[in-house]
Structure 1
Amino acid sequence: MWANGVYRFSSSPIFRFRWMLCRHSSSKLFVGGLSYDTHEPVLKDAFEQHGELIEVKVICDHKSGKSKGYGFVHFVSEESATKALAEMHGQLLDGRNIRINYANKK
């Protein structure tokens, strides 16, 4: 919807899901907004219900070993990743609302 010359996305879950499907998809997801106490087994438990996982990684500081508050979840299929993105984005995990996007390919 256009308002004051700016396109505003609908908050409708159906619109958001269709928009995500149209974007470049991948089987690897970026998960941001993690609690600093969230570790890989917790992330794995939260996402494995959406499909088979290849890898789950919480990014930690090299010196302190503490979480940086984000991580990656890699699924076997793009379909599982898309389903997880649609269902988990904005959900509560360890007391924080997480943000999920497709991971950038390098």
Structure 2
Amino acid sequence: MPREEAVSKLFVGNLSFKVTDADLQNWFESNGYPVESAQVMTDHKTGRSRGIGFVVLKRNDQLKDAVDKLNGQSFSGRTVNVEAAKSPASNEGPHPQKRGRW
């Protein structure tokens, strides 16, 4: 039986395309949330930001407070969405089949 780990990972959406990993980390820390890691997701082909990121907090007990405080706040000129990250296993439902080209 797999053990459950406390989730401390946050999803951050609607980021400015100019925001870097360091910017994201600094924003959380300036709001009182120590960060273990922060990553802005980029397109692997172009290297450009996808406008989303993930933040892992050092303290699991701050997750709900961070969501409550930061969701809907302005960061780098955009109103950001902050929510607890969903695990890949929580993506329920059927997955579309990939089909080859004709």
TM normalised by structure 1 equals 0.71
Displacement of 1:84 after TM fit? 1.4
**Aligned residue number for residue 40 of structure 1:** 21
Structure 1, gaps ≥5 residues long: 1-24
The structure having more radius of gyration, on CA atoms, is 2
Q: Distance in 2 between matches of 1:97 and 1:85?
A: 13
% same residue: 33
Number of positions where the alignment pairs a residue of Structure 1 with one of Structure 2: 82
Q: Distance in 2 between matches of 1:43 and 1:74?
A: 11
Q: 1:62 aligns with which of 41, 44, 59?
A: 44
1 or 2, which has the higher helix percentage?
1
1:50–1:80 contact (8 Å) kept in structure 2: no
Q: Which runs of 4+ in 1 moved over 6 A?
A: none
Corresponding position: 1:99 with 2:99:
no
Structure 2, gaps ≥5 residues long: 1-5, 89-102
Corresponding position: 1:30 with 2:11:
yes
Which letter does structure 2 place at the counterpart of 1:105?
A: S
CA RMSD of aligned residues (A): 1.4
CA displacement 1:21-75 (0-9 Å, x = unmatched): xxxx831100000011111111011101333211100000111111000000001
Q: Distance in 2 between matches of 1:85 and 1:50?
A: 12
1:50–1:81 contact (8 Å) kept in structure 2: no
Which letter does structure 2 place at the counterpart of 1:101?
A: E
